[in-house]
Chains A and B, each alone.
Chain A
Amino acid sequence: QQQVKQSPQSLIVQKGGISIINCAYENTAFDYFPWYQQFPGKGPALLIAIRPDVSEKKEGRFTISFNKSAKQFSLHIMDSQPGDSATYFCAASMNSGYALNFGKGTSLLVTP
C-alpha cells in the first residue's frame, strides 16, 4: 500500500509561473516531510523539508505548505525557471524511523 500519494504525475509550466505539486498521506505518525529534486542522470537531492509544527516553510523560490488536519502537503515553486525542470519527489517518515516513504514523483517541465 502506497503510503504517500503524489500528484500530478507530470506538469508543464511557463517560465515565471507557479508550479504546484501536492502530496497526501494516511499515517498520522509521520512527522518529517522532505521534498527531493532529481535531474536526469543524477540521484535525488534534498530540496526542502518541513515538520508538522509549522504550516509553511520557505526557502528562496521554494515553499512547502503543510495541512496537518487534511494530511496534505504541497510544494510551490514561485517564478519557475527552465532550470527547475526535474522530477520532484515528496516523502514522509516517522520520528523513530529512518525509512523515507516516497511518492511516485512529478516530472516538471518549465518552458521558456
Chain B
Amino acid sequence: ETGVTQTPRHLVMGMTNKKSLKCEQHLGHNAMYWYKQSAKKPLELMFVYSLEERVENNSVPSRFSPECPNSSHLFLHLHTLQPEDSALYLCASSQQTGMGNTIYFGEGSWLTVV
C-alpha cells in the first residue's frame, strides 16, 4: 500500500465543471507536491508546499488552485480546464524540501477534460 493516496484515480470533466483532486500522505512528511505527467513530456512540477505553506508555484495557470489544509492533505481544485490539461496528476511528499530528500509519489489521478 502506497504511503501517498490519491483520489479519484480517474476523473472526466467538462470544460465548465469544477472538481477537486485529493491527496493524503501517511508518512509523516512535511513537504507535499503536485506534478503533471503528460505523454512524451517530462514530469512537470506544479506546486510545492512546505509545512502547509506554498513555497513554489511553477507558472501554473490560475485554473489550477492548490490547497494544503495540513501537512497530511493536499488538494488541487480544478475549474474551467482545457482539453490540453488532460494528463496524469501526481501528488508526492518528502520529509523536507531540499536535496537528497526522497520524494514519494502517489499512483496519480488520470484527468480527462472533454
Binds B, one of A38-46, A67-75, A78-86: A38-46
Q: Is the CB of A42 within 8 A of B97?
A: no
User: Which residue on A lies nearest to B55, using beta carbons?
Assistant: A98
User: Which residue on A lies nearest to B107, using beta carbons?
Assistant: A43
Which of B41, B48, B50, B102 contacts A99, CB < 8 Å?
B48
Q: Is the CB of B99 within 8 A of A43?
A: no
User: How many residue pairs, one in A and one in B, have C-beta atoms under 8 Å apart?
Assistant: 66
Interface size grouping (class) on chain A: 20 to 34
Which of B31, B40, B99, B104 contacts A93, CB < 8 Å?
B99
Total contacting residues, chain B, CB less than 8 A? 28
User: Which residue on A lies nearest to B9, using beta carbons?
Assistant: A41
Which of A31, A44, A91, A96 contacts B90, CB < 8 Å?
A44
Q: Is the CB of B92 within 8 A of A43?
A: yes
Question: Inside 8 A of B107's CB, which chain A residues have their CB?
Answer: 41-43
Q: Is the CB of B103 within 8 A of A100?
A: yes
Is residue A97 within 8 Å, beta carbon to beta carbon, of the partner chain?
yes
- Chain B residues close to A by CB (< 8 Å): 2, 4, 31, 40-43, 45, 48, 50, 55-56, 58, 90, 92, 94, 97-108
Q: List 22 A-B contacts (CB under 8 A).
A: A2-B42, A32-B100, A36-B105, A42-B107, A43-B2, A43-B4, A43-B90, A43-B106, A43-B107, A43-B108, A44-B90, A46-B102, A89-B43, A94-B99, A97-B97, A98-B55, A98-B94, A98-B97, A99-B48, A104-B40, A104-B42, A105-B42
